[in-house]
């Protein structure tokens, strides 16, 4: 599943002729471009993980992995949508070390050291933890297996309902939110999603128990709208407002 991490950087080195180790503008530009190109909105695969098989062809990468219960995960994507990480497990610490070793090479020679940390967004209360792909998106959100760890707020008649928040956060814990039109025939107990987007062909197969389909693209706006409509069905005489977030500090509101 996806995460929402904040990136913190510290640079160590000699001062240049401007009295700086490195201009903040350069730091932000280099780091953002590298993160966007390498790991953001990509499927991060720890290549030392057990029961993993990776196949690479021209421009395409297939990842196969077996869950402990014997069920299979299979993803075929353009290679730039999958990041192969030489670690046993994806954690903030392992990713920070892997990224640091590569980022340091991009900075000017005055930069002699780099300390990098990923910090999870602080969320007080419940959150939903999901992955998805947006076929119609022009950017990297079109990638079929990227995700988020996000806040969720539900209000009935202007009052926050934390019980409902907990119910939906539990239902959407480590879930793939798919689009019904993208789902193809697959083996019993499995769901397969396929689509073609500007970056290429995408396919994902995983156990049905980890999936939740909606009738639209799974944008945060449509997720908020879907959730508000579902709650309204259960609470027809109440005014329902849903705030669904995506990543840090951004999201959508739906009211019915």
Position 13 pLDDT exceeds 80: no
Position 19 pLDDT exceeds 90: no
Predicted confidence (pLDDT) per residue in 61-101, tens digit: 999 999 888 899 999 999 999 999 999 999 999 999 999 88
Predicted confidence (pLDDT) per residue in 195-238, tens digit: 999 999 999 999 999 999 999 999 999 999 999 999 999 999 99
**What average pLDDT does this structure show over 188-197?**
95
Angle at 177 between CA 175 and CA 180, to 5 degrees: 140
pLDDT score, position 185: 85
Q: How confident is the model at residue 249 (pLDDT cuts 50, 70, 90)?
A: confident
């Amino acid at each position: 599943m996806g995460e929402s991490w904040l990136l913190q950087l510290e640079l160590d080195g000699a001062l240049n002729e401007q009295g700086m180790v490195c201009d903040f503008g350069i730091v932000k530009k280099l780091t953002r471009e590298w993160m966007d190109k390498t790991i953001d909105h990509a499927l991060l695969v720890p290549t030392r993980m057990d029961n993993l098989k990776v196949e690479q062809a021209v421009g395409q990468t297939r990842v196969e992995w077996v869950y402990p219960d014997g069920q299979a995960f299979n993803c075929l994507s353009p290679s730039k949508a999958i990041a192969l990480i030489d670690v046993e497990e994806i954690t903030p610490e392992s990713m920070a070390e892997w990224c640091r070793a590569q980022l340091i090479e991009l900075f000017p020679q005055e930069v002699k050291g780099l300390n990098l940390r990923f910090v999870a967004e602080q969320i007080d209360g419940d959150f939903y933890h999901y992955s998805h792909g947006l076929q119609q998106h022009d950017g990297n959100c079109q990638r079929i297996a990227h995700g988020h760890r996000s806040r969720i707020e539900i209000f009935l008649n202007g009052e926050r309902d934390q019980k409902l928040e907990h119910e939906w956060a539990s239902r959407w814990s480590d879930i793939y939110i798919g689009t019904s039109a993208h789902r193809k025939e697959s083996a019993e107990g499995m769901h397969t999603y396929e689509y073609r987007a500007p970056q290429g062909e995408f396919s994902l197969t995983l156990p049905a128990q980890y999936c939740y389909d909606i009738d639209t693209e799974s944008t945060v706006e449509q997720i908020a709208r879907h959730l508000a409509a579902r709650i309204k069905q259960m609470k027809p005489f109440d005014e329902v407002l849903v705030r669904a977030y995506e990543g840090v500090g951004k999201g959508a509101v739906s009211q019915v």
